[in-house]
Amino acid sequence: MDTFTDISNLGHLMGAIGPLGLLLYIYWKDQRTIQSIQAAADKRFAAMKEMYEGNVILVKNYEVLTKSFERVTEALTDVITLNTQKMTEVAKLIEDNQFCPVMKVTKVTTERIEREGKR
């Protein structure tokens, strides 16, 4: 509707219900506008509340997940430490070559020569 039609309708309305009726009509129209604004604000507030509750759940799940990662990290640390110890033993066994009699004799001879050379 354009402004002229609104004013014309307002004139007809005032003639029909009088000034007090016009004030009541304006008040009623204003209250409807306020209620629609309030309903929109309530809807936005409900959406924000839902988002906040979702964030709270996310943070709680993150805490649980972090604790799980800490346990996994500790277990992996233990596995890595054990593997390092065993690989050190394997390297020492290879170095000493205890399973090959030929190399064992050569090593003993080499060690004896080295000790006698240091004297």
pLDDT in tens, 46-90: 999 999 999 889 888 888 888 888 888 888 999 999 999 999 988
Count: domains in the chain: 1
| Tokens describing residue 76 | 């992996």
Task: State the average pLDDT for the chain.
Answer: 80
pLDDT of residue 1: 46
- The whole-angstrom separation of Cα 7 and Cα 14 is 10
Mean pLDDT, residues 14-37: 83
Please give the residue range of the domain that contains residue 14.
3-118
H, E, C per residue of 7-30: HHHHHHHHHHHHHHHHHHHHHHHH
Closest CA to 4 of 12, 27, 20: 12
pTM of full prediction above 0.85: no
Distance of CA 64 to CAs 61, 73, 76, 78, Å? 5, 14, 18, 22
